Amino acid sequence: MIARNNNGRGGRPTLLDLLNRTTLRAVLTAVLLVGISNAVIAVLLVRTQMDHNLELLGRAAADTVEAAVVFDDREAANEALAKVGAGNNLAAIRVVSPAGEELAAWTRAGAGGGWSERLVELILKQPHCVSVVRDGAEIAEVRLWGYGEPLLRFLIVSLLVGVLAFAASALVAYRMSLRAGRKIVRPLEELAQVAHAARCERQFDRRIPPAAIEELHSLGDDFNALLTELQSWQEQVALESEQLTYQANHDPLTGLHNRLFFEKKLAARVEHARKAGERLAVFFMDGDRFKEVNDELGHEVGDQVLQGIAGRLRAALRETDIVARLGGDEFAVLLSPVRETEHAVHVAHNIMSRLEAPLQLPTGDLRKAGLSIGIAFFPDHAGDAADLLKCADQAMYRAKKTNPGSFVVAESPRGQ
């Protein structure tokens, strides 16, 4: 009746099992109690009725048999008994004289010794005796035995009806408990799913739908509120981490990438280019007479000049090119891939032409900010990132020495 194989994980019963089992037990107890008390009442009623019936039949038999007894007419007495017995629920009637002599008797054909008789004897005092009185004296005694067949039928039908009633109420209770159980279990399952998603997949945007049961509803509400807090907390953390990442990779003054990021990228691109057989170019750039600006106009103006240079550098390059401030007034550009030297030269010209126009300073002064550029190619000038940057740096120094504001391509290593 109870599905024990339907257990949850770890051999623990599921909530639904527990509910079903509890409901079934309650129904079983209720139906059994009601059934037993009904059966007891029914048996008592039947017993009273049968007793009454036997008394009436006994009186009727005594009446009809009286004259026959008085006239000692046994044939008539037997016929009278048969008349009383045939139409009624009697197994046997006997008329016995006060001396104990049997005067007349009638027995139902097929009755006696069976289950039904034993059943009647169980609930009823057998035989039922009624005196035959004539002129104030007892002239005989009528003894009646009830016929159990109808009682047996009644009990069997009662039992069947009881079993059917039990089955029907068990079914109804099972369905109701299933429905109630679903009302309880579904919100809990949703809660579990959402909690699992939040824990394992960091999905904080899922919410538990409203439940039909007050306690579960408020539990869901509280859980949702907790999820909202977790979500905003998570977003805050993500934002902060994003900011930290940005700060780690960027120069705070110009918003360009910083040296750390540039060196990492350069190393990675060199590796990639080595494998792919591609060329790439690195520009090493240094501001011309930047120290003078700082000294004459102060660091703030110097910073603004650096920001202006950064803006023009970005404008001169493609999105895929990397431009970084390596520190002070040093900048670097990474172009990859570069098919022809001409392309790098073109970019250098572009940078220089963009720096032709003087920068507008907050003081209202206009000031030209020149850059000396050293260009080195991989794999032409160096085999790794550090050497490549060093080559570009050396080329930049040569440019600055010979003609500030120009660019120089690194010399090819000896032997090439």
- For the annotated catalytic residues, the residue numbers are 329
Residue 71 binds another protein, judged by CB under 8 A: yes
Select 104 or 382, whichever has its Cβ closest to another protein: 104
Is residue 136 close enough to count as binding another protein by CB under 8 A?
yes
CB of 73 to another protein, least distance (A): 5
Q: Report the residue from 68, 81, 194, 323 that binds another protein according to the rule CB under 8 A.
A: 68
Question: Helix, strand, coil: what percent of the chain each, to 5?
Answer: 60, 15, 25
Q: Please say which residue, 74 or 217, places its beta carbon nearer to another protein.
A: 74
Query: Is position 70 an interface residue for another protein (rule: CB under 8 A)?
Result: yes
By beta-carbon proximity to another protein, the closer residue of 69 and 111 is 69
What are the tokens at 64?
């009809």
66 binds another protein (CB under 8 A): yes
For 249-262, letters b (16+ CB in 10 Å) and e give ebbeebebbbeebb
Minimum CB separation of residue 69 from another protein in Å reads 10
Answer for the pair 128, 55: CB distance below 8 angstroms, yes or no. yes
Query: From the CB of 108, what's the least distance to another protein, in Å?
Result: 22
C-alpha distances out from residue 356 to 62, 96, 303, 369, 374, Å? 146, 149, 19, 8, 18
The smaller minimum CB distance to another protein, of residues 14 and 64, is found at: 64
Pairing of strands 371-378, 407-409: parallel
Under rule CB under 8 A, residue 64 binds another protein:
yes
* CB 70, min distance to another protein, A: 5
174-194 CB burial, b ≥16 within 10 A, e <16: beebeebbeebbebeebbeeb
The amino acid at 111: A
Rounded to a whole number of angstroms, the minimum distance from the CB of residue 68 to another protein is: 6
Residue choice 1, 5, 11, 135 for contact with another protein (CB under 8 A) = 135
Report how far residue 408's alpha carbon sits from residue 411's, in angstroms, rounded to the nearest whole number: 9
Interaction of residue 73 with another protein, rule CB under 8 A: yes
Write the DSSP assignment of 183-220 as a string of letters.
HHHHHHHHHHHHHHHHHHS---S--PPPPSSHHHHHHH
Tell me if 345 contacts another protein by CB under 8 A. Answer: no
Span from 102-110, 134-142, 202-210, 346-354 in contact with another protein (CB under 8 A): 134-142
Separation CA 333–CA 227 (nearest Å):
45
Q: Which stretch binds another protein (CB under 8 A): 133-141, 172-180, 276-284, 332-340?
A: 133-141
Using CB under 8 A, pick the residue from 51, 55, 63, 303 that binds another protein.
Answer: 63
DSSP string across 379-404: TTT-SSHHHHHHHHHHHHHHHHHH-T
Nearer CB in complex with another protein: 63/278: 63
Alpha-carbon span 234 to 257, nearest angstrom: 27
Least spacing, CB of residue 136 vs another protein, in Å: 7
Exactly one of 42, 72, 228, 300 binds another protein (CB under 8 A); that residue is 72
Q: Does 303 bind another protein (CB under 8 A)?
A: no
97 binds another protein (CB under 8 A): no
Does position 190 interact with another protein (CB under 8 A)? The reply is no
Q: How far apart are CA 121 and CA 115, in angstroms?
A: 10
Among 12, 25, 134, 196, binds another protein (CB under 8 A): 134
Number of residues that bind another protein (CB under 8 A): 15
Q: From the CB of 140, what's the least distance to another protein, in Å?
A: 13
Whether omega before 404 lies within 30 degrees of 0, making that bond cis, reads: no
Q: Could you say whether residue 76 binds another protein (CB under 8 A)?
A: yes
| Burial 70-93, CB ≥16 within 10 A → b, else e | eeebeebbbbbbeebbeebbbbbb
- Does a cis peptide bond (omega within 30 degrees of 0) precede residue 209? no
d(CA 164, CA 144): 36
Least separation, in Å, of the C-beta of 37 and another protein?
46
| Closer residue to another protein, CB minimum distance, 76 or 361 | 76
Q: Are 329 and 306 in contact (CB under 8 A)?
A: yes
Judged by the rule CB under 8 A, the positions of this chain that interact with another protein are 63-64, 66-68, 70-73, 76, 79-80, 134-136
